[in-house]
Amino acid sequence: MTLQNLTILGSTGSIGVSTLDVIRRHPTRYRVIALCAHSQVDRLFDQCIEFQPLYAVVRDAELAAQLAARLASVACVTQVEHGPEALVRMAALPEVDSVMAAIVGAAGLQPTLAATVAGKKLLLANKEVLVMAGPVFMRAVRESGAVLLPIDSEHNAIFQSLPSDYSGDMLRSGVERLLLTASGGPFRHTPLAELESVTPEQACAHPKWSMGRKISVDSATMMNKGLEVIEAHWLFNVAADKIQVVIHPQSVIHSLVQYVDGSVIAELGNPDMRTPIAHALAYPERITAGVAPLDLFAVASLDFERPDFDRFPCLALAYRALHEGGSMPASLNAANEVAVQAFLDEKISFTAIPRVIELVMNQSPATPLESLDNVLAADRAARRMAELAVEALASA
């Protein structure tokens, strides 16, 4: 058994914490080389004490000085760095075998791409990388020989349900379509008239998952699922009309693959992110993850619903962005990040989130993406438009 050296991008978030929990259970299999966080210095300090990484990265010099002083006071020799350039370096360190890419949003794009170019085993939990830069990112995967393993529970379930030799050819593999399951979030049955007055606290109260505030709002609008549709397109080379979203409130079936012979293969389990994390960490082996076994008798029944695009217009906008292609998914993602933050800051209403996104998409041409510079330019332009749209709505 070879020791696997890891960098964790986003170690203090929910995916990072779950990753470290799996690693904790297998100390002879995994060694943490670098832990990268944003601003949660207290949690990162505790992680450094326990896992003794060679490096730790935080947002800025002030936080780095705080963390370095605290680590020095307990004789921890972890070297502290800061800023986006440090994230890129940690992702491409020569001694690192695998990188958990769990930084939320556009901030994770450059370090994740750096890990890919360096040919690492990439555990991808940042869906925005594929949403923003799908063609650029997948070209880097092919050219570098990087191993790409999805961490989102839905995409990991599809990965497990596809043939082991699947290479992106649906016809050759007898695949009819992909079925992405969704919990439906906290507003699945809320009267439409009441959505206008939804508060950030209500939107962040997910019925199944404990997640960060931005991802929780995305789940409430179902933009999270729309981004996953775009992600599935790039991961599995499947057209938009062959990816169907299915609301499944129990969150026991994590996704399914339908075959041309009528078979449907699904991956089931308790809703716990440690399962896909452990699967990707050990792939192609299996290791314990600390997840309780699924009790089908306790589950008793499984329910399924079609998503309502009137209730969840963000999902329809994501399908539109995928159909239009080029830079449009990057514009969608940027506008969504700005709109969600504005909602969390109580500048706009919950139902204004899709209005901001649609305004930006209507003003954004779908240009080809040939390089990272193209991606970043589309992202910047869409953010400016979204900020103006937020200002207009806030002052109306």
Q: Is 139 part of any domain?
A: yes
pLDDT, position 207: 66
| pTM of the shown model | 0.93
Q: Which amino acid is at 374?
A: N
Report how far residue 99's alpha carbon sits from residue 120's, in angstroms, rounded to the nearest whole number. Answer: 7
Q: Is 312 part of any domain?
A: no
pLDDT, position 210: 64
Cβ-in-10-Å burial (0-12, 13-18, 19+) of 241 comes to exposed
The sign of the dihedral angle between the CA atoms of 23, 27, 32, 37 is positive
- Residue 117 banded pLDDT, cuts 50, 70, 90: very high
Q: Is 67 part of any domain?
A: yes
Report how far residue 19's alpha carbon sits from residue 7's, in angstroms, rounded to the nearest whole number. Answer: 11
- Tell me the C-alpha to C-alpha distance, in Å, between residue 272 and each of 37, 276, 293: 22, 8, 11
Helix, strand and coil content of the chain, in percent to the nearest 5, comes to: 50, 15, 35
In 3D, which of 272, 266, 278 has the Cα closest to residue 291? 272
Q: Of 97-106, 316-325, 333-342, 351-360, which range is least confident?
A: 97-106
Q: Is 306 part of any domain?
A: no
Report how far residue 171's alpha carbon sits from residue 29's, in angstroms, rounded to the nearest whole number. Answer: 38
pLDDT, position 187: 94
Residue 173 has pLDDT above 90, yes or no: yes
Report how far residue 362's alpha carbon sits from residue 228's, in angstroms, rounded to the nearest whole number. Answer: 22
pLDDT, position 19: 98
pLDDT, position 209: 62
In 3D, which of 380, 316, 314, 381 has the Cα closest to residue 352? 314
Q: Is 34 part of any domain?
A: yes
Span 162-178, average pLDDT: 96
Count CA atoms closer than 13 A to 251's CA, side-chain side: 15
SS (H, E, C) 127-178: HHHHHHHHHHHHHHHHHHCCEEEECCHHHHHHHHHCCCCCCCCHHHHCEEEE
Structural domain of 136: 4-150
Whichever domain contains 109, its CATH number is 3.40.50.720
Query: Could you give the 3-state DSSP secondary structure of residue 49?
Result: helix
Q: What are phi and psi of 9, to 5 degrees?
A: -90, 110
Q: Is 137 part of any domain?
A: yes
Structure tokens at 316: 């329809």
Q: Which helix (H) or strand (E) holds 201?
A: helix 200-203
Structure tokens at 114: 């750096």
How many separate domains does the chain show? 1
- Tell me the C-alpha to C-alpha distance, in Å, between residue 229 and each of 246, 255, 274, 308: 11, 12, 22, 16
Q: Is 325 part of any domain?
A: no
Write down the number of H helices and E strands in the chain. Answer: 17, 11
Q: Which helix (H) or strand (E) holds 51?
A: helix 41-51
Span 41-49, average pLDDT: 98
Residue 67 has pLDDT above 90, yes or no: yes
DSSP secondary structure letter of residue 241: G
pLDDT, position 396: 75
Count CA atoms closer than 13 A to 274's CA, side-chain side: 17
Q: Is 130 part of any domain?
A: yes
Structure tokens at 192: 């439409």
pLDDT tens digits, one per residue of 284-331: 999 999 999 999 999 999 999 999 999 999 999 999 999 999 999 999
pLDDT tens digits, one per residue of 202-256: 999 876 666 778 889 999 999 999 999 999 999 999 999 999 999 999 999 999 9
pLDDT, position 143: 96
Residue 281 has pLDDT above 80, yes or no: yes
